[in-house]
Structure 1
Amino acid sequence: MKKVAIQLHLWLGLISGLVVFIVALTGSLLVFREELEPLTDPRFFMVSPPAAGHRQSLDALVETISTTFPDKKISRVIRESAADRTVVVELKQSKKAKDILAVALNPYTGEIVATRQEQDAFFPTVLRLHRYLCLGETGKVITGISCSLFLIIMLTGLVLWWPNRKNCSQRFRIKWNASAKRLTWDVHAVVGFYVLPFIFLIAATGLIWSYKWVNNLLFLAFDGKPQVKREAPVNLSAAGMTTMGRLERVYVQTNQRLPHPGRFTLIFPETDSLSLTVSKVDETAAVSNVVDMLYFDYRTGQSTGQQLYSETTRGFKARRLIFPIHTGSLLGWPTKLIALLVAILTTTLPLTGFYIWWGKRNKPKRVVRRSMQTRTHMSVS
C-alpha cells in the first residue's frame, strides 16, 4: 500500500505542484480581501461623510451615471452600510460578462470620484488567477483537475506520514537542529499533517466552482433534487409606465423589511420586462454569507416577490455556507486567521516536496564494494 502511495504522491505532486502553489498563494491574498481592498484603493472605496450626513437618492446617482456613460448599460449598484463608503455602480461595456467598468460615487455629493476596469484591478486579477490562472475556461479545467489531484495527494501523504512505534514522536514535531535534508522532510511531513484537515476541506469545497456535477450533488444530498435556477419575476406594471424615484423607494422598502445592517446590491435585469433583484447581506447573522433576496417592479418599484434566507431549502443554505468555509470567513476574524495561516503553510508543501524529490534524483550513486570473496579470488588469480 505504501509503495502505491509513494508513486501516487510523487507523480501527482509533480503534475499539480505549481498550480497548487499558485492557488494557495493567491488564496492567502484573498482571505482578507474585504478588509484590505478599501485600504489599497481608498480613493475608489472611501469618502469623508459630512456632518449632516444626508445621502443623495439612488435615482440621482444612477441618473448621473446614465448621463455620463450613455452608451453603457448599468448592471448593478452596490451600497455598503458604513457611512464612509462610496456607492459603486457597475456598467457592462460589451456582451462579455467580465468586461465591467466600475464607477465609484460620493453618495453625499453625487460626484464621480473614481473609475476602474474591474478585470484590471488587483484583487479581481488575483481572484481570476486563483480560479482560472487568468486562462479562462482552459485555466478552470486545469485548476479543477489540480484540485482533484491535490485531494488524492493529501490522502496518500497521510498514508506515508502514518507513524509506527519507533518514529511516533518524530511525526508530530520538527527537528529544527537537524540536517537540511531531515529538516526539509520534517517541514513537508509535519506541516502537511497539521494543515491537512483544513486544506482538505478548503480544496474539497473548491470543487463546487470547478464542476457543476459537484454543485448538483450538494443539492441532491440536502434537497433530493438538483439546484433550481432562480430568476427574477415578471413586472406587474404595463410597458411604458415609469414612476419617479422608484430606485430610492426600493432602497427604503428593503431597509424597512430587512432592518439589519449589511451590503445592499441592486441588480438590473437583462430586459425591462423582468423585476429588479435586491440582495442584502445580514451582518448580524451568526455565520457569514447570509443573504436575503427581494424583487421589485422595474418601472414602479412595487414589490413583486421575495426569497428570504430563512425560507430557502436546506440545499440552498448548505450552498451558501460553501463560500465562507472555502474562504475562512465563516465565523469572521478567527476563522480568517486560520485560513490565512493554512494557505501560507500550504505554499511550502509543493516547494519542500519538489526539493525532496530533486535531492533524491540527483543523489550521487554509491560505489558498491566488492565482496571479500571476490577480492580474494582476484588476488589469487
Structure 2
Amino acid sequence: MRKTLFKWHSYGALIAMLPLLIMSITGSILVFKVEIDSLLRPAHMLVDATPSTPRVSLDTLMKTLLVTNPQFELGGWEIFDDKSRSDAGYIIKRGTEDWSKVYVNQYDGQLLSEPQSLEHYLTDWLLELHYTFLLHVTGTSVALVVGIIMLFLGISGMMLYRRFWAKLFTLRFQAVRRILFSDIHKFIGILSSPVLIIVAATGVYWNVIGIQHELTEHPDGEHVYVTAARHSKNISFEALMRQTEVEIDSYKAGYLAMPFEPGRDITFYGDVDSRNPFNSEYASFVSFDRITGLLLAKQDIRQANTLTVFLDSFRKLHFGYFGGLFTRIIWCIVGLMPMILAFTGLYSYWHRRKQRLKSIQNRRQQALSVESPMLYTLMAVLIKMGRYPFDVTP
C-alpha cells in the first residue's frame, strides 16, 4: 500500500509540477497584492483624507464615472472609507463581456485612472494567471485538476512521512546529497502540508463554484450582454447603502454587485463586528429589488448557519489574513515551498530512476556472463549438426 501511494505521489507531482509552481509563486505574491499595488501605483490606490472628511454620495460617484465613459454600464463597485484607499468602479462595455476597472477618489469625486481591463495591471494579471492560467473557463478547469492533485500530494505526503515527526528537526547535513535532499523534502513537506492542504481545498471549492456558475447560468455557452442599465433610474444607491446599516447592526458595505445579468438584483456585501476572526469582509449581505428598491433578503453572518460560516471562512483561510500580518507572512513563505519540494523531489526521482536503470543493466550483464558458456556450447553443437549457418565458437 505504501509503495503504491508513494508511486502515485511521485506521478502526481511530476504531472502537476509546472502549474503548481505557477500557482504557488503567484499566490505568494498575491498575499500582499494591495501593498504591491499601493507601492507601484500610489496615484490609483491611495487617497489623502482627514478622519472627518465625508464620502461623496455613491450616486454622484457613479454618475461621474458613467458620464465620463458613456459606452459602459456599471457591474460593481468596491467601497472603502478608511481615508486612505480609493474606491474602484467595475464597468462593462455595452454589447460585450469586456470588464474594466476605474479607480475613484471617493472624497472629492475625481477619477484617478482610465478604464483598464481586469488583467491590465501587474497584480491583476497575476491574479488571472493564478486562477485560470489566462485561459478563462478552460483554465479554471485546469486549475481545479491541479488543485485536486495538490490536495492529494499534501495528504499523501503526510501519510507517507508520518513517522518523520520523530526526527522532524534532524537534517543530515553531512550525508550524501541524495539523503540530504530527501531529508529536506520530508522536513519542508511535513511542515508546510497543513497550510498547503488548506490553500488547495479552498481553491478547489472556488473553482468548482466558478465552473458550476458557468454551466448553470450559461449552459449553451451563450451570454446575455448588457446593453443598458437593468435597474430603475429612480433608485438611489446611496440611500440603499444607508439602509443596509439599519438592516444589520454594525454593518459596513464593502462591495456593491449590480444587476448586470438576468435574475440578478442589487446586493451589498459587507462586514460586521464579529468575534470570529475567520468571518470575511463580505460575509454579510443585503439585497434589494432592482426595479422597486425594496428589501429582498439579508444575511448577518453572526446569525448564519454553521455551513455558511464555514464556507465564508475560505476567503481568509486561502489568503491567510485571518491573523493579520503574521499569518500573511507565513502564508507567503509557505506558498513558495512547492519550489523547494519540486526541486528536491525531482532530484530524488531522477536519482532513483538512474539507480534503477543501472541495477537493470547490471543484472543483464550478470545474466549474460552466466549464460554465455552454455550458449556457445549449444551453438557449437548445432554447427556440428549442420543446424547453424556460421561458426561462433571462441
- Shorter-chain TM-score: which interval? 0.7 to 0.9
TM-superposition CA deviations, 1:242-274 (whole Å, max 9, x none): 26xx22222333344456475532222137997
Q: Cα–Cα, structure 1 residues 8 and 271, in superposed 2: closer, same or farther, change >3 Å?
A: closer
Paired position in structure 1 for 2:280: 289
Q: Cα–Cα, structure 1 residues 318 and 159, in superposed 2: closer, same or farther, change >3 Å?
A: closer
Question: Please, which moves more after superposition, 289-298 or 53-62?
Answer: 289-298
Residue identity opposite 2:201 in structure 1: A
Query: Given that residues 75 and 90 in structure 1 are in contact (C-alpha distance below 8 angstroms), is that contact kept between their aligned partners in structure 2?
Result: yes
Paired position in structure 1 for 2:187: 190
Q: Cα–Cα, structure 1 residues 51 and 188, in superposed 2: closer, same or farther, change >3 Å?
A: closer
Cα distance between partner residues in 2 of 1:316 and 1:48: 37
Paired position in structure 1 for 2:38: 38
Among candidates 321, 345, 362, match of residue 313 of structure 2: 321
TM-superposed CA distance for 1:348, in Å, is 1.5
Query: Given that residues 151 and 200 in structure 2 are in contact (C-alpha distance below 8 angstroms), is that contact kept between their aligned partners in structure 1?
Result: yes
Please report the RMSD computed on the Cα atoms of aligned residues, expressed in angstroms: 3.5
Paired position in structure 1 for 2:390: none
Question: Please, which moves more after superposition, 183-192 or 309-318?
Answer: 309-318
Q: Cα–Cα, structure 1 residues 204 and 52, in superposed 2: closer, same or farther, change >3 Å?
A: closer
Query: Given that residues 154 and 194 in structure 2 are in contact (C-alpha distance below 8 angstroms), is that contact kept between their aligned partners in structure 1?
Result: no
Structure 1 position 365 matched with structure 2 position 358: yes
Structure 1 position 154 matched with structure 2 position 158: no
Cα distance between partner residues in 2 of 1:88 and 1:308: 25
Structure 1 position 247 matched with structure 2 position 237: yes
Q: Cα–Cα, structure 1 residues 51 and 186, in superposed 2: closer, same or farther, change >3 Å?
A: closer
Unmatched runs of 5 consecutive residues or more in structure 1: 217-238
TM-superposed CA distance for 1:92, in Å, is 0.6
Residue identity opposite 1:187 in structure 2: I
Query: Given that residues 161 and 189 in structure 1 are in contact (C-alpha distance below 8 angstroms), is that contact kept between their aligned partners in structure 2?
Result: yes
- 1:79-98 pair list within 5 angstroms: 79-94=79-94, 97=97
TM-superposed CA distance for 1:141, in Å, is 2.1
Cα distance between partner residues in 2 of 1:87 and 1:212: 27
Q: How many residues align?
A: 347
TM-superposed CA distance for 1:171, in Å, is 4.8
Larger Rg: 2
Among candidates 325, 344, 362, match of residue 333 of structure 1: 325
TM-superposition CA deviations, 1:4-31 (whole Å, max 9, x none): 1232122221111222222111111122
Residue identity opposite 2:22 in structure 1: I
Query: Given that residues 81 and 261 in structure 1 are in contact (C-alpha distance below 8 angstroms), is that contact kept between their aligned partners in structure 2?
Result: no
TM-superposed CA distance for 1:365, in Å, is 3.4
Secondary structure of the residue that 2:313 maps to in structure 1? helix
- 1:132-171 pair list within 5 angstroms: 132-163=132-163, 170-171=167-168
Query: Given that residues 253 and 268 in structure 2 are in contact (C-alpha distance below 8 angstroms), is that contact kept between their aligned partners in structure 1?
Result: no
Cα distance between partner residues in 2 of 1:313 and 1:214: 25
- 1:255-270 pair list within 5 angstroms: 255-258=245-248, 260=250, 262-270=252-260
Q: Cα–Cα, structure 1 residues 69 and 274, in superposed 2: closer, same or farther, change >3 Å?
A: same
TM-superposed CA distance for 1:333, in Å, is 2.8
Paired position in structure 2 for 1:234: none
Query: Given that residues 140 and 211 in structure 2 are in contact (C-alpha distance below 8 angstroms), is that contact kept between their aligned partners in structure 1?
Result: no
Cα distance between partner residues in 2 of 1:170 and 1:11: 26
TM-score, length-normalised on structure 1?
Answer: 0.78
Q: Cα–Cα, structure 1 residues 52 and 16, in superposed 2: closer, same or farther, change >3 Å?
A: closer
Secondary structure of the residue that 2:63 maps to in structure 1? helix
Secondary structure of the residue that 1:83 maps to in structure 2? coil
Paired position in structure 1 for 2:383: none
Q: Cα–Cα, structure 1 residues 15 and 67, in superposed 2: closer, same or farther, change >3 Å?
A: same
Cα distance between partner residues in 2 of 1:295 and 1:210: 25
Q: Cα–Cα, structure 1 residues 188 and 103, in superposed 2: closer, same or farther, change >3 Å?
A: same
* More relative contact order, 1 or 2 (CA 8 Å, 6+ apart): 1
Q: Cα–Cα, structure 1 residues 176 and 74, in superposed 2: closer, same or farther, change >3 Å?
A: same
Identity within the alignment, %: 22
Residue identity opposite 1:114 in structure 2: S
Paired position in structure 2 for 1:222: none
Paired position in structure 1 for 2:381: none
Secondary structure of the residue that 1:114 maps to in structure 2? coil
Residue identity opposite 1:173 in structure 2: T
TM-score, length-normalised on structure 2?
Answer: 0.76
Query: Given that residues 5 and 157 in structure 1 are in contact (C-alpha distance below 8 angstroms), is that contact kept between their aligned partners in structure 2?
Result: no
Among candidates 299, 302, 308, match of residue 310 of structure 1: 302
Paired position in structure 1 for 2:342: 350
Cα distance between partner residues in 1 of 2:232 and 2:13: 61
Paired position in structure 2 for 1:109: 108
Cα distance between partner residues in 2 of 1:296 and 1:149: 41
Paired position in structure 2 for 1:209: 206
Q: Cα–Cα, structure 1 residues 241 and 197, in superposed 2: closer, same or farther, change >3 Å?
A: closer
Q: Cα–Cα, structure 1 residues 301 and 84, in superposed 2: closer, same or farther, change >3 Å?
A: farther
Cα distance between partner residues in 1 of 2:89 and 2:106: 11
Q: Cα–Cα, structure 1 residues 146 and 86, in superposed 2: closer, same or farther, change >3 Å?
A: closer
TM-superposed CA distance for 1:180, in Å, is 2.7
Cα distance between partner residues in 2 of 1:182 and 1:335: 32
Paired position in structure 1 for 2:14: 14
